[in-house]
Amino acid sequence: MTLRQHPKIELHLHLEGAAPPAFIRGLSQEKKIDISGIFDERGHYAYRDFWHFLKVYEAATSVLVTPMDYHRLTLAVLEQSAENGVIYGETFLSPDFCGGRDLGAWREYLHAIEEAAAIARIQMGITLRGIVTPIRHFGPDKAREVAVCAAETAGAFVTGFGIAGDEKVCEPADFAWSFDCAREAGLGITAHAGEWRGPDHIRATLKALNPTRMGHGVRAIEDLALVDELAERGTVLEVCPGSNIALGIYPDWRKHPIGQLFDRGVKVTVSTDDPPFFHTSLTREWDRLADAFDWDAGVFATLNRTALDAAFCDRDTKETLA
Ligand code: ADE
Ligand code: ZN
């Protein structure tokens, strides 16, 4: 079996960040919203650095206006995932973009996304769950409103809560109320950290937000005592190597710390983050890792097992997928 065909579990994917550029361009033409500046001459998303990436991401998202737009987006994204062998995925969803944190509107967007996920389950054999996610640089007050949307809609589809956006803005403790609210509603907890800030910020995130999973977390490698602590705690890292390399955090695949983290006993998993922005797919991530670290199908089976164990879904769903 080739790596492309191998069944895969993906825990870290931003729904808008996975939007094919042609899909976003098509919507912008339908709605007559001019976002031509976000594409390069080949029609790919174009950005200069992480901050600009966030702005381009928000501009692309500005053409996703109605619940039906999100329905179509979900189908387009899941089609790509299924082509890469993904059988179970989790996606970050932001009430900030879906109805401006209004609970009634959020329910409508969610319904449209869930309906698309149900179609994809039948037609493509892929199962999806949602992780509700405030955007960090929108600030802690908005994050509280997002947490209320998450808590009110926690259930079979919305199973997790996280935080994305500019990691350099605010401190983890500023978001503690939101995370406590989500945890009390029974949601699984993850947080982006250790992508743009180092070990101290990872420690502060563990202390204030107590996540069982962490988005990226790779800069733990700068402090081996922290690496050992992550291994002991069993914190699962949602590592997105192609994203880190495209954004310039690491120069190439061989210098990416995922190999060292794995060898030292940290529970690592592999995801794509925002695949068209980084010219990647989950198959490409696996191929590059196989080349860089000599990983064979046995290693990928271990990573997949780790991801399934850490997935924010019920035991029955896990058993069907195992
Ligand atoms: N939102 C989308 N991609 C992201 C990333 N890599 N880091 C933080 N927030 C994001
Ligand atoms: Zn991410």
* Structure confidence by residue, pLDDT tens digits, 249-268: 999 999 999 999 999 999 99
- pLDDT exceeds cutoff 80 at 184: yes
CATH classification at residue 165: 3.20.20.140
- Report the distance separating Cα 125 and Cα 308, nearest Å: 16
Alpha-carbon distance of 50 to 61, in angstroms, equals: 16
The number of CA neighbours under 13 Å toward the Cβ of 313 is 23
Structural domain range at position 233: 8-19+64-321
Closest CA to 56 of 47, 48, 64: 47
Q: How confident is the model at residue 96 (pLDDT cuts 50, 70, 90)?
A: very high
128: three-class secondary structure by DSSP: strand
Q: How far apart are CA 193 and CA 114, in angstroms?
A: 28
- For residue 237, being part of any structural domain is answered with yes
Among all ligands shown, which has an atom nearest to the Cα of 249? 1
Give the binding-site residues of ligand 1, using a 6 Å CB cut-off. 14, 17, 57, 164-165, 192, 195, 243, 273-274
Atom number in ligand 1 closest to CA 167? 8
Length of the chain: 322
Residue with tokens 């068209």: 276
Closest CA to 12 of 226, 204, 164: 164
Gap between the Cα atoms of 175 and 262, Å rounded:
29
Residue nearest to atom 9 of ligand 1 (CA): 165
Atom of ligand 1 nearest to the CA of 243: 6
Closest ligand, as measured to the CA of 278 = 1
The dihedral region occupied by 32, where left means phi > 0, alpha psi between -120 and 50, and beta the remainder, is left
Split at pLDDT 50, 70, 90, the class of 1 is confident
Q: Which residue among the candidates 16, 114, 195, 238 is catalytic per the annotation?
A: 195
pLDDT confidence bin for 3, thresholds 50/70/90: confident
Is residue 152, in this structure, part of any structural domain at all?
A: yes
Active-site residue, 83 included: no
Does residue 310 belong to any structural domain of this protein? yes
Classify residue 217: in a domain, yes or no.
yes
Q: Please count the structural domains in the chain.
A: 1
pLDDT of residue 298 exceeding 90, the answer is yes
Cα(313) to ligand 1 centroid in Å equals: 23
| 2 pLDDT above the threshold of 90 | no
Residue 86 within any structural domain of the chain: yes
Find out whether 183 and 147 touch, Cβ atoms under 8 Å.
Answer: no
Best residue among 195, 196, 273 to mutate for probing ligand 1, ranked by most atoms within 8 Å of CB: 273
Strand partners, 288: none
Q: Is the ipTM of this complex over 0.90?
A: yes
Q: Are 290 and 251 in contact (CB under 8 A)?
A: no
In the reported structure, the alpha carbon of residue 29 is separated from the centroid of ligand 2 by a whole-number distance in angstroms of 28
Is 59 inside any structural domain? no
Q: What is the mean pLDDT of the chain?
A: 97
Radius of gyration of the chain (CA): 18
Q: What is the CA(200)–ligand 1 centre distance, in A?
A: 19
Q: Is residue 26 part of a domain?
A: no
Answer whether residue 218 is part of any domain: yes
193-247 pLDDT per residue, tens: 999 999 999 999 999 999 999 999 999 999 999 999 999 999 999 999 999 999 9
